Amino acid sequence: SQTIHQWPATLVQPVGSPLSLECTVEGTSNPNLYWYRQAAGRGLQLLFYSVGIGQISSEVPQNLSASRPQDRQFILSSKKLLLSDSGFYLCAWDDEAEAFFGQGTRLTVV
Amino acid sequence: AQKITQTQPGMFVQEKEAVTLDCTYDTSDPSYGLFWYKQPSSGEMIFLIYQGSYDQQNATEGRYSLNFQKARKSANLVISASQLGDSAMYFCAMRGNQAGTALIFGKGTTLSVSS
């Protein structure tokens, strides 16, 4: 069966520090992969999506970046976090009629 | 460009009653898929139901059904016999079937079920 792993579950980072969130998928090949951010009580903002290794589309210009070094691995990074980067980050994959999410990372930048 | 609109920030319903959560969409893709998700306070995203744009019948999954009206570009979620555990945020989402099209979400509707 298909599973998606996302870690860590919670993270508290100081302003200006780097960030690396990792997401891996099992049980499927060549999935579309996504990173979303959700502010408290709000909708999901699409940050990045990838249709294949090394192929990244950015939806929102900001100090975040994404990479897909392997077929089933998607990484969200930042060189210097801002207070406004706080939020709930969700990784997801989809394949035709199915789309599934990781458990999310709650990031607090202090 | 694709767009999803959920106009109800919050909905209130009593147990055992049915409730309809509205969703309208806009896309130029001739073929697309529509999704509904439930997000409880824990934050996890739970997939509920899927409707393909060429499906002749409305999708149903247990107490969930999707009222798909293609000409009106609407994909409302109907929850029958509401339960207290249905209290959560609900998101409508869409993805065009052309390669490279992303899955996008509406702003969500918070459903509160009371006894």
First vs last Cα of chain B: how many Å apart?
42
Q: Do A51 and B45 touch (CB under 8 A)?
A: no
pLDDT for A1 equals 66
| Mean pLDDT in residue range A67-91 | 95
Report residue A61's pLDDT band, with 50, 70 and 90 as the boundaries.
Answer: low
Show Cβ contacts of residue A43 under 8 Å, excluding neighbours closer than 6 positions: B91, B105, B106, B107, B108
The residue ranking higher by pLDDT, B12 or B28, is B12
Q: Are A77 and A18 in contact (CB under 8 A)?
A: yes
Distance from CA of B15 to the nearest CA of A (A): 23
Q: Do B45 and A92 touch (CB under 8 A)?
A: yes
Report residue B97's pLDDT band, with 50, 70 and 90 as the boundaries.
Answer: confident
CA dist B47 and B102 (Å) reads 17
